[in-house]
Amino acid sequence: MNHTIALKNADIRNRIYVIRDQKVLLDTDLAGLYDVETSQLKRAVRRNNDRFPDDFMFELTHKEFENLRCQIGISSWGGSRYTPMAFTEQGVAMLSSVLNSKRAIEVNIQIMRLFLKMRQWAENYHDLLIRIEKLETNSEHIDKTVNDIYNLLTQFLKKEENPKPPIGFRD
């Protein structure tokens, strides 16, 4: 029987932050998803440091860490003495190989699928944004045309309000 771990996409999505213009998951959040201690996750990464170049994983600066704490409204980070590690999509994929557990593999599959859905959504959003910009451009043209028609009608009605007196005899 296949016992896959069922995490809700929202449970993962709510743990994705944008730091240094990259979507990342923090070590503490990943440790929770993998059901391991954060220190265990960090040890595994440090033992396999060559698998985690800067575009896979980076440590937050103290300033980034403070900014993040302010953004998510947490006054302390569980008493950690170290700034968190931030893992990009590729770093998360690499984690399953260094943690070497069935749960890590299953959780990573779900995370990879969510990242894929997010990329697809972003592409669709981009297409939608282009369509809206085209509508706005057309709308500006239509607005100008309607405005011109309105001005012509206004001029026409003003002429009707002040008709010239009739020339000639009246009965």
Give 130-145 pLDDT, tens digit per residue. 777 777 777 777 777 7
Query: Could you tell me the residue range of the domain that residue 43 belongs to?
Result: 9-118
How many domains, the chain?
1
**Distance in angstroms (rounded) separating the CA atoms of residues 4 and 10:** 17
pLDDT digits (tens, 9 = 90+) for 74-98: 545 555 567 899 999 899 888 878 8
pLDDT digits (tens, 9 = 90+) for 39-60: 999 999 999 999 999 999 999 9
Task: Report yes or no on whether pTM surpasses 0.75.
Answer: no
The per-residue pLDDT for 52 is: 94
Q: What are phi and psi of 32, to 5 degrees?
A: -65, -40
**Distance in angstroms (rounded) separating the CA atoms of residues 157 and 159:** 5
Q: Please check whether residue 29 lies inside any domain of the structure.
A: yes
Q: Please check whether residue 163 lies inside any domain of the structure.
A: no
